[in-house]
């Protein structure tokens, strides 16, 4: 298994990654925001994504977004292809994208929102803490990304204070690990 920073050489996999995210949302019945192949390509071109490949086949992916003029970095789009699940790959990818975030944005608070227990456990082990949504970025562009999630109505009804997702935050200024 090769896990590396995604780049131009991986753009041919963007549609497959996008479809995998969509299928996972349907299969689990959870709220996962859709990501277009073009959006994924943008992350690959900026070298702000981590990809796992085995025998030239897509195995997993996650990318970094920056919000609030660099005050926050968020990890999103964590996905593992079905045939590679249950082997700890999500944890490895998440750790790599976490370390990449700390390297590129050493002063940024790193956050994520998720409905998945497995991701919550991974985040907790990396030093994230559950937080209220008010402690996450207030950048409206971030919250626009939630529009394709089936739970978006909850987020809008509560004026972005609550949802079915759990917000988790790593603050580099706190002793987390």
What pLDDT, in 10s, does the model give residues 5-20?
999 999 999 999 999 9
Predicted local distance difference test score (pLDDT) of residue 32: 60
Q: Would you give the end-to-end CA distance of the chain in angstroms?
A: 27
Which of 14-23, 140-149, 161-170 bottoms out in mean pLDDT, i.e. has the lowest? 140-149
Angle between helical axes of 14-28 and 37-45 (0-180°, round to 10) = 120
DSSP 151-168: THHHHHHTTTS--SSEEE
Displacement of CA 75 from its chain's centroid (Å): 3
pTM recorded for the entire structure: 0.84
pLDDT in tens, 154-163: 878 888 777 7
Is the pLDDT reported for residue 31 higher than 60? no
CB 102 within 8 A of CB 128: no
Task: Please report the pLDDT score of residue 33 as a whole number.
Answer: 64
Proportion of the chain above pLDDT 70, given as a percent:
93
How many CB atoms neighbour CB 33 within 10 A?
A: 19
Q: What is each CA distance from 2 to 17, 94, 108, in whole angstroms? A: 16, 14, 27
Task: Give residues with Cβ within 8 angstroms of 142, minimum separation 6.
Answer: 65, 67, 72, 74, 136
């Amino acid at each position: 298994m090769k896990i590396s920073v995604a780049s131009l050489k991986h753009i041919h996999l963007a549609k497959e990654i996008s479809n995998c995210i969509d299928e996972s949302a349907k299969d689990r019945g959870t709220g996962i925001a859709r990501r277009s192949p073009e959006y994924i390509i943008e992350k690959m071109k900026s070298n702000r994504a981590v990809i796992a490949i085995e025998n030239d086949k897509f195995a997993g992916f996650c990318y970094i977004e920056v919000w609030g003029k660099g005050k926050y970095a968020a990890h999103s789009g964590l996905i593992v292809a079905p045939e590679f699940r249950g082997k700890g790959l999500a944890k490895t990818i998440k750790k790599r994208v976490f370390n990449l975030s700390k390297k590129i944005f050493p002063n940024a608070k790193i956050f994520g929102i998720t409905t998945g227990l497995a991701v919550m456990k991974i985040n907790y082990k990396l030093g994230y803490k559950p937080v209220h949504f008010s402690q996450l970025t207030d950048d409206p562009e971030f919250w626009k990304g939630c529009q394709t999630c089936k739970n978006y109505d909850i987020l809008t009804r509560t004026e972005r204070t609550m949802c079915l997702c759990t917000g988790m935050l790593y603050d580099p200024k706190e002793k987390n690990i």
